Amino acid sequence: MAESSWRSLNQEGRWGTSTVIVTAGNLDAGRLRAKRIDDAGQQGIEEEIPADECQAHAPYSQDWLDFFADHTVRVGGGRIRP
Protein backbone atom coordinates (compact mmCIF):
# COMPACT_ATOMS: atom_id res chain seq x y z
CA MET A 1 0.00 0.00 0.00
CA ALA A 2 1.34 3.40 -0.89
CA GLU A 3 2.00 5.76 1.98
CA SER A 4 -0.19 8.40 0.30
CA SER A 5 -3.27 6.19 0.72
CA TRP A 6 -3.16 6.73 4.49
CA ARG A 7 -5.43 9.51 5.76
CA SER A 8 -4.40 11.42 8.86
CA LEU A 9 -6.79 10.93 11.79
CA ASN A 10 -6.72 11.93 15.44
CA GLN A 11 -9.37 9.99 17.30
CA GLU A 12 -9.53 8.27 20.66
CA GLY A 13 -11.26 4.91 20.76
CA ARG A 14 -11.24 1.29 21.93
CA TRP A 15 -9.68 -1.74 20.34
CA GLY A 16 -10.56 -4.84 22.29
CA THR A 17 -9.86 -3.94 25.91
CA SER A 18 -7.34 -1.23 25.03
CA THR A 19 -7.81 2.51 24.78
CA VAL A 20 -6.13 3.74 21.62
CA ILE A 21 -5.38 6.91 19.68
CA VAL A 22 -6.10 6.31 16.00
CA THR A 23 -3.51 8.27 14.04
CA ALA A 24 -4.30 7.27 10.44
CA GLY A 25 -6.70 5.26 8.31
CA ASN A 26 -6.46 3.51 4.96
CA LEU A 27 -9.77 3.02 3.15
CA ASP A 28 -8.33 0.70 0.49
CA ALA A 29 -6.88 -1.68 3.08
CA GLY A 30 -9.61 -1.22 5.72
CA ARG A 31 -6.86 -0.63 8.29
CA LEU A 32 -6.10 1.92 10.97
CA ARG A 33 -2.84 2.93 12.61
CA ALA A 34 -3.28 3.19 16.35
CA LYS A 35 -1.27 3.65 19.54
CA ARG A 36 -2.39 1.95 22.74
CA ILE A 37 -2.62 4.18 25.81
CA ASP A 38 -1.52 2.65 29.11
CA ASP A 39 -2.98 3.35 32.56
CA ALA A 40 -0.48 6.17 33.07
CA GLY A 41 -1.63 7.89 29.85
CA GLN A 42 1.53 7.02 27.91
CA GLN A 43 1.19 6.15 24.23
CA GLY A 44 2.72 2.94 22.93
CA ILE A 45 4.17 1.95 19.57
CA GLU A 46 1.98 2.60 16.55
CA GLU A 47 0.51 -0.57 15.04
CA GLU A 48 -1.94 -1.41 12.27
CA ILE A 49 -5.33 -2.79 13.27
CA PRO A 50 -8.47 -3.78 11.33
CA ALA A 51 -10.78 -0.79 10.93
CA ASP A 52 -13.86 -2.81 11.80
CA GLU A 53 -12.44 -3.76 15.23
CA CYS A 54 -12.13 -0.20 16.51
CA GLN A 55 -14.84 1.81 18.23
CA ALA A 56 -14.30 5.55 18.45
CA HIS A 57 -15.21 7.63 21.52
CA ALA A 58 -17.08 10.92 21.43
CA PRO A 59 -16.27 13.67 20.82
CA TYR A 60 -15.58 12.62 17.23
CA SER A 61 -13.01 14.47 15.16
CA GLN A 62 -14.13 15.74 11.76
CA ASP A 63 -11.36 13.66 10.16
CA TRP A 64 -12.81 10.52 11.81
CA LEU A 65 -16.38 11.35 10.72
CA ASP A 66 -15.20 11.88 7.13
CA PHE A 67 -13.24 8.60 7.17
CA PHE A 68 -16.20 6.73 8.68
CA ALA A 69 -18.61 8.14 6.07
CA ASP A 70 -16.29 7.20 3.19
CA HIS A 71 -15.76 3.72 4.64
CA THR A 72 -19.51 3.21 5.04
CA VAL A 73 -20.09 4.06 1.38
CA ARG A 74 -17.34 1.62 0.30
CA VAL A 75 -18.57 -1.36 2.32
CA GLY A 76 -22.27 -0.65 1.89
CA GLY A 77 -23.34 -0.42 5.48
CA GLY A 78 -20.43 0.41 7.70
CA ARG A 79 -18.56 -2.15 9.70
CA ILE A 80 -16.60 0.34 11.75
CA ARG A 81 -18.51 2.03 14.50
CA PRO A 82 -18.47 5.78 15.12
Domain ranges of the chain: 3-74
pLDDT of residue 47: 96
* Ramachandran region, residue 41 (left: φ > 0; alpha: ψ -120 to 50; beta: rest): left
CA angle 21, 66, 12 (to 5 degrees): 15
pLDDT along the chain (82 residues), means of 10: 76 94 93 94 94 90 90 65 54
pLDDT of residue 2: 47
| Strands annotated E in the chain | 7-15, 18-26, 31-37, 43-50, 54-56
* 59/28 Cα distance (integer angstroms): 25
pLDDT of residue 71: 79
